[in-house]
Homo-oligomer: A and B are copies of this chain.
Amino acid sequence: MHFSDKIEKRMQELDSQLVIGIDPHPEKVLDKSSRFAITLNSDDPEYLLSAFCHIALEVAARTACAVKPQAAFFECAGIPGWKALRRCIKMAREMGLPIILDTKRGDIGSTASAYARAYLDPSSEFFSDAVTVNPYLGPDSLEPFVAAAKKSGSGIFVLVKTSNPGSGAFQDAVLADGEPLFAKVARVVAAFASSSIGNCGYSNVGAVVGATYPEHLSILRSLLPQSIILLPGYGAQGGKAENLKAAFHPGGRGALVSSSRAIIFSYENSEPGQLSESRIFDAMLEAAQKAKKEIQAIVGTGASPTSST
């Protein structure tokens, strides 16, 4: 199934625009003194990362449109990290959960093709439903990813405007024609997007737009009419739900909201004393349901407040 159709179907079935970012920070998951490692009574990085993913995936299966594992947090654990990521991808697939692997890769020609082979080729153990891609090297650096995505029915999300405080330095740079650079990038993404549209009307070429910059969302929504917009930075990074509305088409379509820390480390807010795996799951589930409802309230889906009284 075309990536955008898979996302659209799950979005409607679960009535959820939420993406759970799986960012297993080493100091919170692997450090011997972390609450997670103490609770699981292990110092084996592959086991700890796999167990963390398993809990987050069980939560996502009940609440989220997709999961977004962050490659960096697996890479920094070396080979055991890669083995855990492989298991995470396998588990997600078995659960029917779409996986957006946050790799932010970008390179030229045959090197970009090698990255596409690593993550968008069904024969790879790291085959994901979609990856994030960095556009700095130019349109020709995106082509191999677009081609691989078309071939395997997977998707890509191109970084257009990121959520960090310093994203403006280059992305907002005003060009001689008066437009910021991110708009120029968006036009290139839109052209690629129009070449691969699913039955639902959306493309498998999406865009990443930080949830922290609401003033850009409506501009980018109109520049990218056929792209699914992935909005990271909601929750812990300061992005607020009410700022996100401009990214959505009517009925809560066309955008996904990613939240990581506020969900996956929610158990750290629980009282001191012994945690258990089931309490960690419960805390994550509660935080995910809360995020899902906040987003529903903004986009106008979900049970209406009046009908539930």
Known: A72-B107, A76-B117. A136 touches B26 (CB 8 A): no
* 1/0 contact string of A125-144 vs chain B (CB within 8 Å): 11000000011111111000
Indicate if A25 sits at the interface (CB-CB under 8 A).
yes
How far, in Å, is A198 (CB) from chain B's closest CB? 26
How far, in Å, is A125 (CB) from chain B's closest CB? 5
Chain A residues within 8 Å of chain B by Cβ, number:
57
A115 to B228, CA, bound (A): 27
Known: A106-B104, A114-B26. A138 touches B178 (CB 8 A): no
Provide the residues of chain B in CB contact with A178, threshold 8 Å: 176
Indicate if A16 sits at the interface (CB-CB under 8 A).
no
Provide the residues of chain B in CB contact with A136, threshold 8 Å: 106, 134-136, 159, 162, 170-171
User: A78 contacts B124, CB within 8 Å?
Assistant: yes
Stretch at the interface among A59-67, A181-189, A217-225, A283-291: A181-189
A205 to B214, CA, bound (A): 34
Indicate if A75 sits at the interface (CB-CB under 8 A).
yes
Q: This chain: how many copies in the complex?
A: 2
Indicate if A195 sits at the interface (CB-CB under 8 A).
no
A141 to B159, CA, bound (A): 14
Provide the residues of chain B in CB contact with A76, threshold 8 Å: 114-115, 117-118, 124
Indicate if A111 sits at the interface (CB-CB under 8 A).
yes
Neighbour of A108 across the interface among B137, B162, B184, CB < 8 A = B162
**Chain A to chain B contacts (Cβ below 8 Å), 25 pairs:** A23-B110, A72-B112, A72-B115, A73-B111, A75-B126, A76-B115, A78-B82, A78-B126, A82-B82, A104-B105, A104-B106, A106-B106, A106-B134, A136-B159, A136-B170, A137-B159, A137-B166, A137-B167, A138-B166, A138-B169, A140-B164, A140-B166, A173-B181, A173-B184, A175-B176
